[in-house]
Chains A and B, each alone.
Chain A
Amino acid sequence: MRIGVFICHCGSNIEGTVDTAEVSRIARDYPEVAFATDTMYACSEPGQDGIIEAIGEHKLDGVVVASCTPRMHEATFRNTLERAGLNPYMFEMANIREHVSWIGKDREANTNKAADLVRMAVEKLRRNQPLIAKEFDINRRVLVIGGGVAGIQAALDCADAGLEVVMVERESTIGGKMAKLDKTFPTVDCSSCILGPRMVEIAQHPNITLYACSEVDGVSGYVGNFSVKIKKKARYVDWDKCTGCGECVEKCPSRKAPNTFDEKIGPGRAINIPFPQAIPKKATINAEYCIKLTKGKCGTCEKICPSNAIDFQQQDEIITEEVGAVVAATGYDLFDWTVYEEYGGGRYPDVITSLQYERLLSASGPTGGHVKRPSDGKEPKNVVFIQCVGSRDKSVGRPYCSGFCCMYTAKQAILTKDHIPDSTSYVFYMDIRAPGKLYDEFTRRAMEEYGAQYIRGRVAMVYPDGKGNMIVRGADTLMGRQVEVQADLVVLAVGVESAKNSPQLAEKLRISYDSYGFFMEGHPKLKPCETNTAGVYLAGACQGPKDIPASVAQGSAAASKVIGLFSKEKLKSDPQTANVDIKRCIGCGKCVLTCPFGAIKEVDFRGQPKAEVIETVCQGCGICSSTCPQGAIQLRHFTDNQILAEVEAICRF
């Protein structure tokens, strides 16, 4: 074998603390190394051309690049090798940036470590085999999980491009958080007026199948060929028959059920249609509060329903859909604001969340758009907004900024003035974060034209004054003094956290999630809507707090990724799969038991049981090869001998 070694400077990223010329000089003495050099930017066009040139000139048949992470540039360099006529798997990468130059300052030690890592890569490469990817068919259907604005956008873009779309929504209607909003910043246009037509389009689009009141139960398969189990939850109403007339809702005697769409401030019913524009506009029974389902009596809705749609016997149902790609658009949930006991959320009726306030402002909300405070229905004159409730606060485990609360608070202050002209809004803020297009102008308008009183400081406590109002006491850090504001209504700008059960869904989809439960993108800058699992894409706030324009943009971006994936004739499977040495296999079946993907089956070979890998299903995790006691099943490109050679390369003494 003739190996070429290229030590990248990465500008000064590596060269700053690693003597790359010295590393390449040391590498020349490694076995089978025919050529070694240092290069300014190996990934740049001249850098790659240099590699191709060296392959030709020195008749190289394997290449080591010592630079950044394989996650960053392995694909880049494999392509380079392919262009030079070599098999792309005759390539190894040594990470001397994240593993060396960025973590140590001692130039001599760094140089030695870099040389060791290069030695490992050379030893592995010496045992590499050319691998050829197999091609397989794509199922050109896409699953969109979540029917909020991001999911709607992704679904419509895919459907318009001619793809079949399956949308799964946990709630009984699509629309997500945006459907609950009254108006949207910075244009103050009506939320349901702009979202409503999109929702209708979802319902009417011939390419879209919508499963509302459903959840993803399990996902198996791989890019191009996923099999998704969807749990259609029992809703106790036959939706094929329900016309959404709403008579059952009016007559339902169970009035203690929480109205989740109205964020629990409006009156609820055990049987409910969330709002007039709901898609699908179908009634659903809340089994926990239904008198018939809990006590066996009542059944009023069953008697009154003109289309006989009520079905108390309905059970959860599991259906299977086959798709080729998945877009996760599961959105966010609100931080539990009652954690801040000093604000009195959950204790005082007139301390409400920003989303509850949206429902009070909304014409389709419980108050018909007249702002009335929950305790006595009085129109509030002094409204205090408290920002960063569950944002930028390490003490509650939420150090990140939720991003859009500054904006919606400014919007709510403006709307308050519109609804109640003689009112005054007070906003306790930490910093105003308004970096979007027309955003800063909008917050200024709230202050300057609508007279919102912005007070920079945190609130220490909120307490009732005994006369039916609240006192908000806090600091004004600009004035350097304490302030007390008498408030008729206190609105908490509650921060964003990952949607409930996000980690569980991530495990089902086999994607990563961060410590807050937000799904991890493929690369924070360059792959914002891909995941590290092929065929799974992200849209909206499930990846991190996002406002509507950003969610919509990411929905479209995810759709374009799906369309791009499906535009290929066939997909190539990763050849880095497990492989059975049939001579060594004793047919004990231990690998079959441990494979998480069901990718190994037992076959009969001349009367003896043997293991066989289904290559398209194998994900290359390697559990089988660490289970097999005699090492008969090996992961291609990561064989025992390759790994042992790497270990030997660093443990030489």
Chain B
Amino acid sequence: MLDKLKESIKAALPELDFVMGWGMGYDPLHATPLYMYEPEDVDNLVWGPLNVHNLAVHLPSLKGKKVGIVVKGCDSRSVVELLQEGLINREDVVIFGAPCNGIVDMSKIRKAVPDAHFVHSVETDDNGLTITTDKDTHKLSLAEVMADKCTRCRFPNAVVADHFVGEKREPTVENDAYEDLESFESQGFEERRDFWMTEMDRCIRCYACRNACPLCVCRDHCVAQSRNPHWVSQRDGVRDKFMFQIIHAMHMAGRCTECGECERACPMDIPVLLLKRKLGTVIHDLFDYDSGLDAEARPPLLAFKLEEESIKEKDW
């Protein structure tokens, strides 16, 4: 399948400035974004559970160039969202899709493989990963170290693609039951507040969550680093950290595709995706809307209606 993907990229490459995919990073355990300008670059392409990054985050800054992008199912929803918001032009982007069996959660691997500092080799197959370090060899099943979002994946195949290779895979689940959110919300107010206060207090304000988010499109103009408007101050303390996360979540309401990049990028492992998942359920229940599926749809919070069908303010 990887060969087919490479072939199809090579075939399209002459028409494109470059194609984004994944290649091997600084060690065999870490993939890294790969920019393919020449056919020989394509030979470095990898596909598998280590392709954790959502490359759609780079697309808006490439507006005006003609680029190709390799996407997993979840990444493709971000592309749809960017198309919908006019941040990229459909004719300037060529999308390569392939079925995804799920990606790993590096935090889980770090826990399972305490000596993952010097990795000699990683072999992946249908059953999982074999990681050989300088001390030991670890056999891990994919289920053990899979990212949480993949356990509830509804779109393993790209929802939009110009070139799709391989057999389409059945979704992992029919519907996301939001069990994580439900169990979190079953706690009392005090517990939930204490949880967030503790978690948010660990934030180091590196803004990796924001920078990894494909839909955080304000870039240099983010309100987190602006004096006018001055929403977030330079003060140290949980208040401003929490404020930023709430702003981020609110800006994502109705746009977030729950790709999980914010949480993956967080060096402190703060579960910030949970906030976005909460707003996702609210939007879904209120507007019967799922983001990142239809480039022609209008997200409910980016429209003005005198009367919302589902919000009855008046009795007529």
Contacts and interface: CB of A to CB of B under 8 A. Distances in A.
A312 to B, nearest CB: 33
Nearest to B247: A629
A22 to B, nearest CB: 31
A184 interface: no
A630 B86 contact: no
A623 interface: yes
Nearest to B221: A630
A639 B229 contact: yes
B16 interface: no
Interface in A566-589: 581, 584, 586, 588-589
Nearest to B87: A588
Contact of B85 (A581, A588, A623, A630): A588
Contacts of B303: 593-594
Contacts of A595: 304
Nearest to B250: A629
Nearest to A632: B221
Contacts of B219: 586
Interface string B73-91: 0000000000001110000
Contacts of B304: 593-596, 623
A593 B230 contact: no
Given A588-B85, A589-B86, A630-B222, A644 B231 contact: yes
B302 A594 contact: yes
From A503, A504, A581, A629, residue with most partner B Cβ within 10 Å: A629
A426 B108 CA distance: 89
Interface in A621-653: 623, 627, 629-632, 634, 639-641, 644
B231 A504 contact: no
B135 interface: no
Given A503-B316, A507-B306, A644-B230, A588 B221 contact: no
Contact of A644 (B86, B229, B301): B229
A623 B251 CA distance: 14
A586 to B, nearest CB: 6
B298 interface: yes
A630 B230 CA distance: 11
B314 interface: yes
A503 B217 contact: no
B226 interface: yes
Contact of B218 (A586, A623, A627, A644): A586
Contacts of A644: 229-231
B314 A503 contact: yes
Contact of A584 (B221, B230, B314): B221
Contacts of A630: 218, 221-223, 226
Nearest to A640: B229
B229 A631 contact: yes
A640 B226 CA distance: 12
A588 B231 contact: no
B175 interface: no
Given A594-B302, A594-B304, A586 B221 contact: yes
B231 A640 contact: yes
B186 interface: no
A590 interface: yes
Name the prevailing secondary structure of the B interface residues.
Answer: loop
B229 A629 contact: no
A504 B306 CA distance: 11
Contacts of A590: 85, 302
Contact of B228 (A504, A586, A641): A641
A596 B303 CA distance: 9
A644 B301 CA distance: 23
A581 B229 CA distance: 11
A632 B86 CA distance: 18
Interface string A115-149: 00000000000000000000000000000000000
Contacts of B228: 581, 641
Interface string A240-265: 00000000000000000000000000
A47 B5 CA distance: 81
Nearest to B216: A629
A436 B138 CA distance: 97
Contacts of A593: 298, 302-304
A471 to B, nearest CB: 37
A226 B218 CA distance: 36
Interface in B181-195: none
Given A507-B306, A593-B302, A623-B304, A629 B86 contact: no
Nearest to A645: B230
B86 A588 contact: yes
B211 to A, nearest CB: 15
Contacts of A586: 217-219, 221
A627 B229 contact: no
A553 B229 CA distance: 50
Contacts of A584: 221, 226
Contacts of A629: 217-218, 223, 251
Interface string B85-116: 11100000000000000000000000000000
Interface in B215-255: 217-219, 221-223, 226, 228-231, 251
B247 to A, nearest CB: 8
Contacts of B230: 640-641, 644
A631 B316 contact: no
A244 to B, nearest CB: 36
A644 to B, nearest CB: 6
Given A588-B87, A594-B302, A594-B304, A634 B229 contact: yes
Nearest to A642: B229
B302 A627 contact: yes
A593 B254 CA distance: 14
Nearest to B305: A596
Interface string B301-315: 111101000000010
A641 B223 CA distance: 11
Interface string B203-223: 000000000000001110111
Interface in B232-285: 251
Nearest to B302: A593
Interface in B3-28: none
Interface in A513-533: none
A631 B226 contact: yes
Nearest to B306: A507
B223 A631 contact: yes
Nearest to B303: A593
Given A507-B306, A596-B304, A630-B218, 17 more contacts: A504-B316, A581-B228, A586-B217, A593-B302, A594-B304, A596-B306, A627-B302, A630-B222, A630-B223, A630-B226, A631-B226, A631-B231, A632-B221, A634-B229, A640-B231, A644-B229, A644-B230
Interface of A: 503-504, 507, 581, 584, 586, 588-590, 593-596, 623, 627, 629-632, 634, 639-641, 644
> Ordered nearest first, which 10 A-B pairs have the shortest CB separation?
A640-B229, A630-B218, A631-B229, A630-B221, A629-B251, A596-B304, A584-B221, A593-B302, A594-B304, A631-B223
17 contacts: A503-B314, A503-B316, A588-B86, A588-B217, A589-B86, A590-B85, A593-B302, A595-B304, A623-B304, A627-B302, A629-B217, A629-B223, A630-B218, A631-B223, A631-B226, A631-B229, A640-B229
